[in-house]
Amino acid sequence: MSASEASADPPAAEVADQAAADAFAHLVAIMRRLRDPKTGCPWDQVQTFETIAPYTIEEAYEVADAIARRDWDALKDELGDLLLQVVYHARIAEERGLFDAAAVATAIADKMVRRHPHVFGDGAGRDTSAHREAWEQQKAEERAARALTGALAGVPVALPALTRALKLSKRAARVGFDWPDAAAVLEKLAEETEELKAELAGGTSSDRLAEEIGDMLFVQVNLARKLGLDPEACLRAANAKFERRFQAVEQALAREGKTPSEASLEEMERLWALVKRAEAPAAGDEEDPGRLSARTGPT
């Protein structure tokens, strides 16, 4: 090796990797000081897995929100907040003699290597279908090692309901328990709708109505799945559309010196239609998940 080669700067990727490792180690050290029983922060000292878990969920949603808003500066901050949650839990675990941050990073790194033999092992050349099969087989072996049996084993119960419904139905579909196509799911949705109508006509209990509504939501999740869509993302987009349009209605009413509570349903529907018509060319949508009708209810 020549002198010039020996003194050459390391590859950019190597430099970036080392910078990431140093920054992560610094964050771990900060958390260690925050949790120090003598000199740490009083609030941080008393936190537990259970008290921190809600913040972890909240931070994950804030990451998703930043992505949906395409706010990349906010995404950097939110990813940092989420990473802090990982370090927080790892520190609590280390204090209890369970594992530490290094073990967390090692576990996920090892898992990624196991699940990508076409990159790190002897599975080179696999097509997408073969890779997916190998991935699912590896996950099944990992569940078996944790004594989790059954196609639906291991789907976290704390997931948002729509996301968990999607994961459960995907698991069932992999073993052949599935509708043949989206049209069949639509037929099932129509069936569930008729069942709900019958329950409403019969003056049934709220428990029965809740069950029927749950059935309809589960079927709609499967309709999204058969169409290759994420139901959580679909509903998130519908929420954003409703929020945007309702805020425009509020602003229009304010220009007339009114609030929504002072306006009639007909007035708000008129403004809603105007807002929808104004944004339709840009949004390119014809669906209206939020419009309220005095005749038909939510549509």
Q: What is the pLDDT of residue 128?
A: 67
Domains, the chain, ordered by start: 13-115 (1.10.287.1080), 161-226 (1.10.287.1080), 231-298 (no CATH)
User: What pLDDT digit, counting tens, does each position of 197-248 carry?
Assistant: 999 988 888 899 999 999 999 999 999 999 999 998 899 889 999 999 999 9
Residue 234 contacts by C-beta under 8 Å, 6 or more apart in sequence?
A: 224
> For residue 120, what are the CA distances in angstroms to 109, 140, 215?
11, 20, 43
Q: What is the pLDDT of residue 116?
A: 83
The amino acid at 270: R
User: What pLDDT digit, counting tens, does each position of 22-65 carry?
Assistant: 999 999 999 999 999 999 999 999 999 999 999 999 999 899 88
**Vertex 90 angle, CA 89 and 96, to 5°:** 95
Q: What whole-number distance in Å separates Cα of residue 276 and Cα of residue 294? A: 18
Yes or no: say if 239 and 284 are a contact pair by the CB < 8 Å rule.
no
User: What pLDDT digit, counting tens, does each position of 172-205 carry?
Assistant: 999 999 999 999 999 999 999 999 999 998 888 8
Q: What is the pLDDT of residue 68?
A: 86
Mean pLDDT score, 146-157: 80
Q: Are strands 297-298 and 292-293 parallel, antiparallel or unpaired?
A: antiparallel
Q: DSSP assignment, residue 227?
A: T
User: What pLDDT digit, counting tens, does each position of 105-150 carry?
Assistant: 999 999 888 888 878 876 555 666 666 777 777 777 776 666 667 8
| Of 188 and 289, more confident | 188
User: What pLDDT digit, counting tens, does each position of 3-28 carry?
Assistant: 444 456 678 888 999 999 999 999 99
Structure tokens, 157? 């119960």
Q: If residue 297 lies in a helix (H) or strand (E), which one and from where to where?
A: strand 297-298
pLDDT band at 154 (very low <50, low <70, confident <90, very high): confident
Q: What whole-number distance in Å separates Cα of residue 37 and Cα of residue 46? A: 9
Mean residue pLDDT of the chain comes to: 87
Q: What whole-number distance in Å separates Cα of residue 222 and Cα of residue 219? A: 5
Q: DSSP assignment, residue 121?
A: S
- CA 52 remoteness from chain centre: 19
The mean-pLDDT minimum among 1-10, 91-100, 165-174, 268-277 falls in: 1-10
Q: Is the pLDDT of residue 283 over 80?
A: no
